[in-house]
């Protein structure tokens, strides 16, 4: 059972988390956040079964957090923690599906009682729609980008989510079948139709089903590479070549992501992972590298060089160049013996 504790007071937050950890049967994971915004980041990364939240916090209070949870994560069980003077305010959360309140100071028996109640309500066989969509998105991106290791790691995450959801074998096979069907639909939209047939349906247990599903995905990837002649060009090489050829133009991350068939968010993460630079930083560095090469050509005016590498604002070019090189363009050219 995954529990998230949200409170801006470090001592109280740690204390509640400690009491949750001591709950028997033990919770599988206890996470913490110091405000509503941080809590949402953690929820989106790994949805908890229960959120224990303070009502008054900076940045985003507990009332707003409960409203968002009610709208976007209605299956997450929410418990509001409030001081005596805030109890009336906390009751406004009724409209957001909150039925459990704890009055500060919270004691271990309080935590035990509310966790016991919520544990009895736990519904087996549920996978959040947001998690399901995320799986399919990542499968598609890893296969299309020929990232076999990432595809294998994703299957490990699927296993963890399966264990947390307590699915039956029949429910698991149905879920994997839906994932497979949607994945093939997306790949066909990219004009690639795998011949590989699903094999996980004949598995006799969950472990065998996941092993077969991972093998099916791996063979789809191999089939894609075979179709490409075994010479799959790294999408990052294609992207970098495109950026390098368009230094004088303003191109967006969204445009480049679409060019290689990736979502902007996934492309941004992949680009940074593969190049150790953000998309914007890479373009700036390439522009400055190109300008240094042009500065070595005596007859080209510096103002024309700025325009050639995409800087219509000459002062901005000079400032950026000095920040990265340590000297102005004029000083750099002089250092090459060019007057």
Whether residues 281 and 240 share a domain: the answer is yes
CA distance readout (Å), 21 to 28, 275, 285: 9, 40, 48
Q: Which domain holds residue 16?
A: 2-121
Q: Where is the domain boundary, 171, 196, 227?
A: 227
Answering whether pTM is above 0.75, one says no
Q: Where is the domain boundary, 67, 87, 121?
A: 121
Whether residues 140 and 209 share a domain: the answer is yes
Whole-number pLDDT of residue 94? 67
Whether residues 215 and 270 share a domain: the answer is no
Cα dihedral sign, 202-208-210-212: negative
Q: Where is the domain boundary, 201, 227, 253?
A: 227
Query: How many domains does one find in the chain?
Result: 3
Which domain CATH number covers 323?
A: 1.10.10.60
Whole-number pLDDT of residue 321? 93
Q: What is the pLDDT along the chain (339 residues), one digit of tens a residue?
A: 788 888 888 888 888 888 888 776 655 578 888 888 888 888 877 778 788 888 778 888 877 888 888 777 776 788 888 776 666 666 666 667 776 888 778 888 888 888 887 776 655 556 666 677 778 888 888 888 788 888 888 887 777 777 666 677 777 888 888 888 888 888 888 888 887 778 888 887 778 888 888 888 888 888 888 777 655 556 677 778 788 888 888 888 888 887 777 778 877 877 887 778 888 898 899 899 989 988 888 888 899 899 888 898 889 999 999 999 999 999 998 888 887
Nearest 10 degrees: Cα torsion 91, 94, 99, 100: -30
Whether residues 9 and 84 share a domain: the answer is yes
Whole-number pLDDT of residue 193? 83
Q: Are 25 and 54 in contact (CB under 8 A)?
A: no
Whether residues 174 and 274 share a domain: the answer is no
DSSP character string of 297-313: STTS-HHHHHHHTT-SS
Whether residues 177 and 87 share a domain: the answer is no
**What is the spatial distance between Cα 332 and Cα 296, in angstroms, rounded to a whole number?**
9
Which domain CATH number covers 74?
A: 3.40.50.2300
Whether residues 134 and 115 share a domain: the answer is no
């Amino acid at each position: 059972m995954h529990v998230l504790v949200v409170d801006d007071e470090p001592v109280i937050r740690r204390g509640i988390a400690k009491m949750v950890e001591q709950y028997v049967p033990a919770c599988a994971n206890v996470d913490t956040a110091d405000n509503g915004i941080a809590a949402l980041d953690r929820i989106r990364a790994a949805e908890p079964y229960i959120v224990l939240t303070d009502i008054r916090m900076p940045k985003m209070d507990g009332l707003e957090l409960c409203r968002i949870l009610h709208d976007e994560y209605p299956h997450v069980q929410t418990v509001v923690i409030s001081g005596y003077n805030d109890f009336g305010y906390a009751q406004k959360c009724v409209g957001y599906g909150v039925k459990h309140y704890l009055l500060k100071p919270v004691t271990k028996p309080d935590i035990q009682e509310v966790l016991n109640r919520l544990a009895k309500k736990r519904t087996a066989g549920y996978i959040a729609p947001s998690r399901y969509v995320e799986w399919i998105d990542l499968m598609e991106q890893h296969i299309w980008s020929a990232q076999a290791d990432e595809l294998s790691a994703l299957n490990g995450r699927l296993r963890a989510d399966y264990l947390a959801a307590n699915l039956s074998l029949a429910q698991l096979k149905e879920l994997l079948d839906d994932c497979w069907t949607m994945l093939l639909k997306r790949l066909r939209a990219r004009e690639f139709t795998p011949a590989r047939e699903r094999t996980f349906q004949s598995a006799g247990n969950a472990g065998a089903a996941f092993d077969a599903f991972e093998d099916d995905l791996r063979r789809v990837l191999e089939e894609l590479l075979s179709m490409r002649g075994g010479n799959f060009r790294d999408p990052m090489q294609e992207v970098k070549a495109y950026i390098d050829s368009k230094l004088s133009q303003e191109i967006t991350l969204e445009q480049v992501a679409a060019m290689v068939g990736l979502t902007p968010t996934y492309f941004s993460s992949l680009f940074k992972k593969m190049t150790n630079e953000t998309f914007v930083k890479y373009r700036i560095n390439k522009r400055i590298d190109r300008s240094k090469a042009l500065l070595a050509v005596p007859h080209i005016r510096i103002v024309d060089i700025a325009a050639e590498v995409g800087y219509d604002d000459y002062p901005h070019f000079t400032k950026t160049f000095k920040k990265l090189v340590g000297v102005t363009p004029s000083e750099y050219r002089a250092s090459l013996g060019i007057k």
